[in-house]
């Protein structure tokens, strides 16, 4: 997969995590997050894989985010860094100033599947 196709593929996976309603497909969600996945939230707290899964399963299925400045950089064999800005736009009452995000994605050996194993977001005022 060339870098242009790879960047689009990773963007689709990032958007899927926030826009997909996983309540009836928890297995699909769990397949996207590596077993050792962890997140650093905007306050600098470590968040477990289980808590992220719980949040994604409980979020409003109508929630939507807009994305900007999406970039993907190859860091090594089967390892990429995605950086972008995202802002929740629906529901409007919960809309915010947005956040800068960075994610590390790793391709599973011998497959075309990618898993997220680290994510961090920093709120923008």
Instruction: State how far the alpha carbon of 15 is from the alpha carbons of 12, 44, 102, in Å.
Output: 5, 23, 13
Domains of the chain: residue spans and CATH: 3-123 (3.10.450.50)
pLDDT tens digits along 61-119: 999 999 999 999 999 999 999 999 999 999 876 667 899 999 999 999 988 899 999 99
Instruction: Give pLDDT tens digits for 20-55.
Output: 999 999 999 999 999 999 999 999 999 999 999 999
Could you tell me how many helices (H) and strands (E) the chain has, helices first? 3, 6
Give the whole-angstrom CA distance, residue 99 versus residue 18. 14
Instruction: Give the span between the Cα atoms of 21 and 29, in whole angstroms.
Output: 9
């Amino acid at each position: 997969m060339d870098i242009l196709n790879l960047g689009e593929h990773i963007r689709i996976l990032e958007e899927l995590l926030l826009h997909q309603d996983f309540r009836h497909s928890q297995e699909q969600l769990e397949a996207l997050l590596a077993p050792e996945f962890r997140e650093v939230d905007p306050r600098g707290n470590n968040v477990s894989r289980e808590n992220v899964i719980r949040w994604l399963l409980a979020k409003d299925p109508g929630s939507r985010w807009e994305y900007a400045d999406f970039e993907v950089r190859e860091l090594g064999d089967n390892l990429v860094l995605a950086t972008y800005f995202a802002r929740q736009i629906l529901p409007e009452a919960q809309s915010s100033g947005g956040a800068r995000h960075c994610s590390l994605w790793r391709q599973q050996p011998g497959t075309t599947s990618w898993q997220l194993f680290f994510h961090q977001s920093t709120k923008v005022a």
